[in-house]
Amino acid sequence: MNSDALSLFERIRSGSDKLSPAQKKVCGYILSHYRSLAYVTLAELARLTSTGQGTVVRFAQALGYGTFSNLQRALREEIEKSAPRSLEIYSSKGADNEDNSPFDIVFEMERSLMDETHSLINKEDFDHATKILSEAPGLVVSATGSNSFLADYAGYFLGTMKENVAVVKGTDLSDMNVILDAVEGTVGFVFSFPRYPIKTQTIISAMKEKGIRIIGISDSIASPIADCCSPFFMVPQKFMTFMDPCAAVMSLIHSILYGVWMRDRKRYRNRIEARKRLFVDEKVFVSENIPLPDLMP
């Protein structure tokens, strides 16, 4: 593909390994605070990233923009593309083909969203997120409404590996007590997708009040949770009906969970085995003798 046709995020993904440590600071700041940088100046970005103006210019050049002005223009284009808008309808390549069933069209859409999501993930942010989640003394995993199944999935498997993992899916007294009683250093892991449930914003506010650091996953840098999260991951959404696409976000969550597992496999395996011994006399599963696999040595 012609490099001129690549988006800012595609350029960052393809070129981040070649950046200097100082340039990576600029890169990380842009990815984390992207939404607020539409009119940032060269001097301001250098100050915000604790680097120098020369570093920012070299960062722009390393991505192929030549000048800071071109980088700024690319930033504005990306912000405009991700700005709040009506739900984007998926345009299927094969919808007019009579032989294509809903099965074909849905898989086509989910594959395209997975590819787009993969192109947006910054490896350093991903590694940082797995490190934070692995080392945190407590975790609060949260989503509400139609997003709540994401919190159930992530919370179940994080709780399998780690102690002090709570899932919050509402704003009643017991939910707020979980946040109020969170131990120092607790990290939040929050999901919010269109139409962005208001309860999620209430939970985010409570976490911020408590001083809980938040890792977030949503569909756009213009999402209402974006400014509260670091790292923040984007999973684009497109729709055919009222039902949410979920293959891409589930794949991202799965990869983060696997990344956490890889941080301390021995510790997490020992916890799982210890829990299994507690229920040795109870029939929990039909198949009890399935070993814990490990893809990587």
Model pLDDT for residues 94-142, shown as the tens digit of each residue: 556 667 788 888 999 999 999 989 988 888 889 999 999 999 999 999 9
CATH of the domain at 59: 1.10.10.10
Q: Among candidates 80, 97, 78, which has minimal Cα distance to 11?
A: 78
What are phi and psi for residue 273, nearest 5 degrees?
A: -65, -35
Higher pLDDT among residues 4 and 211, named by residue: 211
* Cα–Cα distance measured from residue 99 to residue 106, given in angstroms and rounded to the nearest whole number: 14
pTM of the model: 0.72
What's the distance, Cα to Cα, between the start and end of the chain in Å? 35
* Cα–Cα distance measured from residue 198 to residue 7, given in angstroms and rounded to the nearest whole number: 31
Cis status, amide bond into 269, omega within 30 of 0 = no
Same domain, 56 and 115: no
Task: Convert the pLDDT of each residue in 165-174 to its tens digit.
Answer: 999 999 999 9
- Assess contact for 160 and 185: CB atoms under 8 A: no
Same domain, 51 and 126: no
Specify the range with the lowest mean pLDDT, choosing from 49-53, 72-76, 93-97, 274-278.
Answer: 93-97
Burial environment of residue 188 by CB neighbours within 10 A (0 to 12, 13 to 18, 19 or more): buried
Which helix or strand (DSSP H or E) is residue 55 part of?
helix 53-62
Same domain, 107 and 70: no
Q: How far is residue 114 from each of residues 38, 252, 271, 296, measured CA to CA in Å?
A: 27, 9, 32, 23
Task: Convert the pLDDT of each residue in 241-286 to its tens digit.
Answer: 888 899 999 999 999 999 999 999 999 999 988 888 877 767 766 6
* Cα–Cα distance measured from residue 143 to residue 168, given in angstroms and rounded to the nearest whole number: 7
Q: Indicate the pLDDT class of residue 2, thresholds 50, 70 and 90.
A: very low
* Cα–Cα distance measured from residue 203 to residue 228, given in angstroms and rounded to the nearest whole number: 11
Across the chain, mean pLDDT equals 88
Predicted pLDDT of residue 207? 97
Structure tokens at 193: 């997708």
Tell me 264's DSSP state.
S
For residue 282, being part of any structural domain is answered with no
DSSP per-residue codes, 103-134 = HHHHHHHHHHHHHHHHHH--HHHHHHHHHHHH
For residue 50, being part of any structural domain is answered with yes
Same domain, 25 and 75: yes
Same domain, 11 and 42: yes
Task: Convert the pLDDT of each residue in 138-178 to its tens digit.
Answer: 999 999 999 999 999 999 999 999 999 999 999 999 999 99
Predicted pLDDT of residue 49? 93
Q: Indicate the pLDDT class of residue 1, thresholds 50, 70 and 90.
A: very low
Same domain, 132 and 230: yes
Structural domain boundaries enclosing 163: 103-270
Predicted pLDDT of residue 5? 66
Predicted pLDDT of residue 7? 83
Q: Report the percentage of the chain scoring pLDDT > 70.
A: 89
Tell me 194's DSSP state.
T
Same domain, 171 and 53: no
